[in-house]
Amino acid sequence: MPLSRSSIDQWEVLAAVVDAGGFAQAAQALHKSQSAVSYAVAQLQQALGVRLLRMEGRRAVLTPAGAELLRRSRGVVEQFTRLEALARAIDRGWESELALVIDASFPQALLLGILAELRASCPHTTVSLADAVLSGAEEAIVEAAADVVVTTRVPQGWLGDWLMDVEMIAVSSPAHPLQGLQRTLTLEDLAQHTQVVVRDSGRLHPRDEGWLGAPHRWTVASLEASHAAVRAGLAYAWLPAHGVEEDIAGGRLKALPLAVGGTRRMSLYVVLVKGETAGPAARKTVELLQRHLPPSRQASIS
């Protein structure tokens, strides 16, 4: 493969001349001498065999060929800059990739805030984020398919830190027949209607949680799909309280008046899968997960 005739530095100088409006201005912006700037542009034009700039008075203006080549070079320069930054990050020990598996019941608004701060801390680490339901998170731990996992259960032989309890609440649309009974509900009442549940994302040891005594049951792939089915009046479900509080306040959903079991708490734990060999980005993620939770987390997140 032939070596490049031009350098990244030469293209950066050309961009500075155009952006600053002249050689003297570019020299000042780059903290170089004007002769060094002029020489870099001249060498670039000679290497390419193409005239890139013409002078209009004291202002350097791109030729049509120069405009096209500079436009394309900006993306190359940006990629090269990122490559160098990535190399420095790897040299400091930051992982180039970070895999996160987060239980679907974890509050999304909280997660987005954590991810935003994580990006600021390690901007050159590529993050792979996947959600999990029930045993799916446990499998990610056992199979070492992720660096950090938030799970409802810590598999045997692994250590995890408790993060919080999520309150699950039985809800339906206000127009659902169960709400029309206008009394305290029993399990027999629930058994007459359709329950929607979220499919366990695990493959090895899938499990069910919550009331599953309804003979009519829909199984969906996500909490979002379950939420939508309940709002549409098609079924009832136990959903995270933090995800339905606005719908309840707005009258789009209503808690089921169950005599027993209308709410339950589900604990979430964070597992640093690689333990002592985990990299700084994985450790930073765990620290952020713990730090971003409100002081009242010892009670619950509802």
For the chain, what are the domain ranges?
8-92, 100-163+267-298, 165-266
pLDDT at 205: 62
* Tokens standing for residue 137: 């998170």
- Residue closest to 186 by CA, chosen among 211, 161, 162, 165: 211
- Residue closest to 256 by CA, chosen among 171, 132, 162: 171
- SS3 for 92? helix
pLDDT at 210: 56
Q: Please determine, looking at this structure, whether the domain spanning 165-266 carries the CATH number 3.30.70.100.
A: no
Low-confidence ranges of the chain (pLDDT < 50): 297-300
pLDDT at 136: 83
Identical fold, 8-92 and 100-163+267-298: no
- SS3 for 220? strand
Domain range 8-92, CATH class: mainly alpha
Domain range 100-163+267-298, CATH class: alpha beta
- Residue closest to 30 by CA, chosen among 7, 59, 9, 53: 9
Residue 62: CB atoms within 10 Å: 18
